Structure 1
Amino acid sequence: MLEITGYSVEFIKDPFGILSGRRYEFLIDIDLDEEDELYSKSGIYIRAVYSAEESGGRLIKHELIERVTEKLLDFELEDEEEQELLAFCAEHYKEADE
């Protein structure tokens, strides 16, 4: 289960109109247990790109990043966590300034 401690969301402008749907970038702070293999004293956040389309929303991509070093971590979220992330983005994307 993802324990989200903070987030920001921004609308991604598409000046050429080549992308389908409207894209949003999320930066999501997560809290991890020290026993978790992803745990870092520096902290971890998720960068996610969400697409809101008429047929519904979907995650375009997501990355796990170590906060202090900005190092991309070579780990994937579990299916359940990815579904939680999708639901979170679907609930909060409208908060972005467009």
Structure 2
Amino acid sequence: MKELNISEYSVEYVKDPFGIIAGKRYEFILDLTIEEDDELFSPQGVYARVIFGVEDTGSRIVKYDLVERTTDRYLEFDLDEEELQELEAFCRAHYTEAE
């Protein structure tokens, strides 16, 4: 993937009623627009499910999965470092929308 093209997204605060997790966690669902010549392309569409953690020491992507839209099948691809940085910057800019 050359550049992350996020067409739609949602973000929700993940409640931790037992206080097991340090900081706060947010779940993002990001619809990705992917060009047909990209190995990640699927005619059904692809979205990223991202768990984003925010603590006093900073914020980071805890986990992410790439998923085929209509089948909810996990795709065995990893984003490259530049794409991960772009994804992290997007989450950092938007996680407060869940509060």
Spell out, residue by residue over 1:38-76, the C-alpha distance to the aligned partner (whole angstroms, 9 max, x if none): 001100000000001111101000000000000000000
Structure 2 runs not aligned, ≥5 long: none
Determine the structure 2 residue equivalent to 1:50: 52
Determine the structure 2 residue equivalent to 1:35: 37
Q: Mean Cα displacement is larger for which, 62-71 or 52-61?
A: 52-61
Determine the structure 2 residue equivalent to 1:84: 86
- Identity %, equivalent residues: 51
Q: Secondary structure at the match of 1:27?
A: strand
TM-score, normalisation: structure 1: 0.97
Determine the structure 1 residue equivalent to 2:28: 26
Structure 1 residue identity aligned to 2:68: E
Structure 1's consecutive aligned runs of 4 or more residues displaced over 6 angstroms after TM superposition are: none
Q: What CA distance in whole angstroms lies between the structure 2 residues aligned with 1:25 and 1:95?
A: 11
Q: Secondary structure at the match of 2:87?
A: helix
- Number of residues of Structure 1 aligned to a counterpart in Structure 2: 97
Structure 1 runs not aligned, ≥5 long: none
Q: Secondary structure at the match of 1:38?
A: coil
Determine the structure 2 residue equivalent to 1:95: 97
Q: What CA distance in whole angstroms lies between the structure 2 residues aligned with 1:85 and 1:21?
A: 20
TM-score, normalisation: structure 2: 0.96
